Structure 1
Amino acid sequence: MTLKAVDLGAHNHNHQRNPGFDLDLGWMRQVRMNRSALERRASTIGTRRSVKKQWQAAWLLRAITFIDLTTLNGDDSAGRVERLCAKARQPVRPEILKALGADGLKVNPGAVCVYHNFVETAVNALKGTGIPVAAVSTGFPAGLTPFETRIKEVEASVAAGAKEIDVVIERHHVLNGDWQALYDQMKAFREACGEAHLKTILGTGELATQTNVAKASLVCMLAGADFIKTSTGKEKVNADLQTSLSMIRMIRWFHEETGIEIGYKPAGGISKAKDALTFMALMKEELGDNWLQPHLFRFGASSLLTDIERQLEHNATGRYSADYRQPMV
């Protein structure tokens, strides 16, 4: 198997960034999601066709470029972050890439995602790679620290070198239908980000209905979000296909109305290579090939990379290896 030597993880620097728009409550009133229809559609994704052999390997190599390689644990340390960054520099063992005919490819994750305290550590560890550092800010994961504190945290993360900021919305604004409050906060976060890209975490497992998920998605996009993201990974329910459909269809509608392409990031619970392939198929079918690029699609995951490596090794050698042969940190 030979794959064309290209930079799979290249970011599209010509992409038009979301400038933000006025809050349109008339548009909001048009938003409705049919949960049963979403569930029926979700049940068909990944079942009608499958990707095998060298095509599967190619898809999995591309999946690596969508991963925000993440460590968000209470026992994180500078050493752990440095080891994660080392993994980002070389996410697949060279002999596996060579066996796949892919040793000419530059395969790196979309970003490394850490708490604010470790942004500078990650920036230094990734120097010269072009891999951006993403910081979870605004009182992650609850998003309920004082507003001024959250703004300062965003500004501090950007000053430390973060190129992407993952912020958490206050879920009660959605549950109470206070769309103006949600819009105002997101707009302030976007302003605080400056040149750094804003990824808004909806905490979809705590929003009660798919219509709430869709409306929250629209508000965040109108406020200037570059990405909308499902979860913190700390909720009881994280990324799933039904919720992804709600968010992706709002991205499509937003693009039809404004011409602006918004990124999508499912996060939490995506740990198997087959799940990554299913989400990629969803993006391809619902939004098209253009969205299968790192500047428009990410996975919030860490253990996912381990399973992708195992599948790639099986593709190259015919044998599955133990997880410890692909250590993370």
Structure 2
Amino acid sequence: MKILLVDDSFYARKFFAKILTNEGHDVVEAQGGIEALEIFKKGGMDVVTVDMLMPDMDGITLIKKIKEIDRDALIIAVTADIQEETKKEAFNAGAYAFISKPVKPEEIKRVLSQLQKEPYSIFLSPDSRDAFTELINIAMGKAAEALSSLLEKKIILKVPHFEMIVASRLYDYFEGNLDEIGVAVQQRFSGIINGVATLALPYKDAVSLVRVLISANKELERLTPSEQTVLAEVGNIVLNGAISILSNQLKTRLAISIPDVYIKKSGKDVLNSIMLYCHDSEHALVLLSRLTISEIEILSYLIMLLPRVGILKLLESLNA
């Protein structure tokens, strides 16, 4: 990776640069914000590390100016100031991750490793990821209990994987994972944050779900309105479980709309409907879930599109 390293301290730059070059990265150094902007405008940088306290331009300002040039720029904030408010400001400005000085080789390796694996994800510390994973699975466990009662079948609902990605990259994500959607159930929520939650099933998994729910081998596009209502209710229960995570963590009530059901749509069409209601949202929470009904495993994707303030408040609550 080509990394622009910005720090006014000669010693700090050389120490940090040595760690990065030893890991095989190409490092370009800048001793301040003005020089960094000149270099960044020329293009070619994969990552920018920004010191928060510099004489010519503070780190928050530099992060914002870089984001004005490229909203998808990957920026790591680096500072000796470990105040939570400083960290919050850095994330709010657009930083992907926050690393404390003195820089520890294992920490920068971990952050860059995640960047290479999931370049458009939002960084979560191991503790935050573990806490959120536990919250998700508790909520999905309650949703499974409600579904079991509704359908009178044994149901297990787990979320083995989740990630937070930049909303502008959702189209790429859908193209790779959800090119053809069999069933999508969508609900909007509003309150101190507004967003959209969508449960989407790939075509084959949607067919399996329909067979289990209505005990019939039926084409999706030939489902009756009453049969679609069953799908809407299943989606409603799962989506409400996910939205409850937000409302509980943010300690607020969120109003939830009546579910909309989409049958046999392209991933692009479903995503367009999501973006229609959340054009100002910047990030997406994507949950890969596995729904087991009567020993039949069904893969589904739960996508929640949120404004940046919602993500920040969620992260803040996890770190509290």
TM-score higher than 0.5: no
- The answer to which structure has the higher strand fraction is 2
Radius of gyration: which is bigger? Answer: 2
Bin for the TM-score computed over the shorter chain: under 0.3
- Give the structure-2-normalised TM-score: 0.24
Which TM-score applies when normalising by structure 1? 0.23
